[in-house]
A and B are shown apart, each in its own frame.
Chain A
Amino acid sequence: MSARRPASPGAPEARRADLALVVAGVTQLTEDVRQLTLAARDGGPLPCYPPGSHLGLRWRPDRVNSYSLTGDGHDPAGYTLSVLRTRDSRGGSAWAHALRPGDPVDAVAPRSAFPVAARARRHLLVAGGIGITPLLSHARWHVRWGADFVLYYGFQPGRAAHLAELRALCGGQRGGRLRAFAGRDALWADLGPALARQPLGTQLYVCGPLPMIDAVTAEARRLHWAESRIRSEAFGACADGPRAPFLATLATDGRRVAVSAGETLLEALERDGVPVPSLCRSGVCGECRTPVTAGRVDHRDLVLSAAERASGDWIMPCVSRAAGDEVELSL
């Protein structure tokens, strides 16, 4: 009996590192948020994905911006993303907002970094602004599988992307699973007490602007939610801090790479011809994770857990730096 490589489309081999997509549709959801629907350029099926996954759009040969997929991932006919127009320094969202149906788009296959906790008895989803996108994907999943969930959605008045869709999905504002609030204060008035009275076994998921994530997770920690119960996904680039020059030593051959104040560790390594895989180059995807063998690290990424940071075993060179003068990498 002979076997050959799978030919059926949609088989796992069909998943390649880069997907050739095309813009199939564009919808303006709010003043600042535009929804893109992307299909396979060859008209074929797209890889499935777990809820909370993100899709990296290669908007320049060396730049990938990731956006959460809002669908539920089962046999998607298209990938739907909602992009917030921001005044970010590198222009990725402006590029996304300029896309028209028929435009080709190269993308990195969906990556899962914000999954559902399968065993949780209840799922408490908290979304701020554009942070609704991965949680919309989660909500679809929970509706499909009949899980117990509640979704808190805070937004600026007049800027509630996906609100009607959510109301239909979550069964109405009162008594249903959606609790939507215009404005931060209104959200807190309801969410604050709710955080204090969830049953044991509830999982918390937070997505939105960094200050909002910090506030909600800090409150959860103040209420002694176990660390493993709290999951969050941060959007946008990490806050950058002061940059001092330092030395990076490569453990394999002792080579020393000088990192100046004007460049990241990743840029310095690349400049010196040291290959390090990278994707987002902004500390959110985890692709450039590099083992550290000596020296303390100034962590500036959004990937490593508290335990991983404390161990000192890892660094994300695209944003993080040496805490002192020197760091040694297992490269």
Chain B
Amino acid sequence: MTRTGPSDFTGLAGFPFPLAADAYRYTANLRPAGAGGETVTRVGPDYAELIAERARILRADPGRLIRDPALRAAEWDTLRYLMRRLSGEYPAHFRYAEAGGQARWENRLLGTAAGFTPGDPASLPCGPLEFIGRQVVEDLVLLDEREGHLWADAGLVTFASGWSFPFVAGSSFREIHGPVPQANADGVFARAEAFLLRLQPGQAYRRLNWAFQPFRVLDHSMDAAASWMPEADAFLATATDADIAAHVHLRVEVQHLIRLETSAAVLFLIDTRFLSLADLATVPAWSARVVAVLRGLPADIAAYKGLTELRPRIIDCLTRQAGL
């Protein structure tokens, strides 16, 4: 459980560093997908490991997959969207073709192939969301628009951080983001939701979320709290400076928000990435930025982000290690 492996197989150059300025505000920080040349899906050297981890979690806890009969069309929309994305962004690994109402999908990384009839549940071994969800590293949440708001009705989430998808499934966007300090007073989430509601089918946007956690644990959900929380609590209470330097990780979520093309549902993709404090310390510009942001973080936002105990320790560690 106490994993201290390398931050990211793709190396620091490709890492999605989330802090663009020294003063941090809780904003929606949305920008069009692909604006910086990034892909919407990510398939890296860790693909097989993450797919296997997802399968392990689902085997132990199938309730991380939540379906809704009202969102059948959105599930098929999601499957087709991701198959086209994957085959377009990684053509060496995936192939997708449609002709005459039939589709063919090849996943060369997993060594699988499937022919199916889009829209016909009997032609797939499981539901469309699960079928494609088991072949991507991103968490998937489907949001339905009704009563002037967005509702997170279905999804497959195995790598949540500090929340439980089974708990929030079926809640509205506002209810889920409700308890965020300052943000509601500023109307940030109301504006974010209004923005999402105006998205036209086919449009995709990207944003980044970040947090720090004591160990490199992917499944940091409240559903799995028994497996990581006791160690995390013990760590926070007893960690030495060496422990902090060795074990704390920056956790970044690269999120994509897509208005699907035929169902008009909003698809939320979450890709989780780690950067160890040790590796972070080797990039002076990033270290300095993190220190500046943490120093200036208002107390209630720090508390909301679970940084009350970690913040001074991280600042201390980075200022010493990076010689700031």
Contacts and interface: CB of A to CB of B under 8 A. Distances in A.
Find out whether A and B make contact in their complex, taking CB atoms under 8 A apart as touching: yes
Contacts of B34: 5, 13
A112 B144 contact: no
Contact of A228 (B91, B148, B200): B148
Interface in B106-155: 118-119, 144-148
B72 A48 contact: no
B88 A228 contact: no
How many A residues touch the partner, as a band?
A: 35 or more
B171 interface: no
A3 B90 contact: yes
A183 interface: no
B261 A49 contact: yes
Contacts, number: 94
Interface stretch (B213-221, B262-270, B284-292): B262-270
Interface stretch (B38-46, B237-245, B273-281): B38-46
Interface in A220-234: 228
A307 to B, nearest CB: 7
B62 to A, nearest CB: 24
Interface stretch (A25-33, A114-122, A190-198, A247-255): A114-122
A46 B31 CA distance: 25
Contact of B148 (A53, A286, A305): A305
Interface stretch (B50-58, B79-87, B305-313): B79-87
Contact of B84 (A4, A12, A50, A74): A12
Contacts of B16: none
Given A1-B90, A115-B145, A307-B148, A49 B74 contact: no
Contacts of A10: 84
A49 B87 contact: no
B73 A118 contact: yes
B84 A6 contact: yes
B88 A8 contact: yes
A53 B260 CA distance: 13
B85 A50 contact: no
B146 A117 contact: yes
Interface string A1-29: 10111111011110100000000000000
Contact of A119 (B44, B93, B144): B144
B98 interface: yes
A118 B73 CA distance: 9
Contact of B89 (A6, A73, A119): A6
B85 A6 contact: yes
Nearest to A203: B146
Contacts of B30: none
Nearest to A47: B202
Contacts of B146: 117-119, 228
B200 A112 contact: yes
Contact of A50 (B44, B198, B261): B261
Q: Which of B34, B204, B264 has the most CB of A within 10 A?
A: B264
Nearest to B41: A3
Interface in A111-133: 111-112, 115-119
A75 interface: yes
A118 B71 contact: yes
Q: Which of A15, A48, A286 has the most CB of B within 10 A?
A: A48
A8 B87 contact: yes
Q: A-B pairs with the 5 shortest C-beta distances?
A: A6-B88, A50-B264, A48-B261, A11-B88, A15-B202
18 contacts: A1-B90, A4-B91, A5-B88, A6-B87, A11-B88, A12-B84, A12-B85, A12-B204, A12-B258, A48-B201, A48-B261, A50-B264, A112-B200, A118-B263, A141-B73, A145-B72, A228-B146, A228-B147
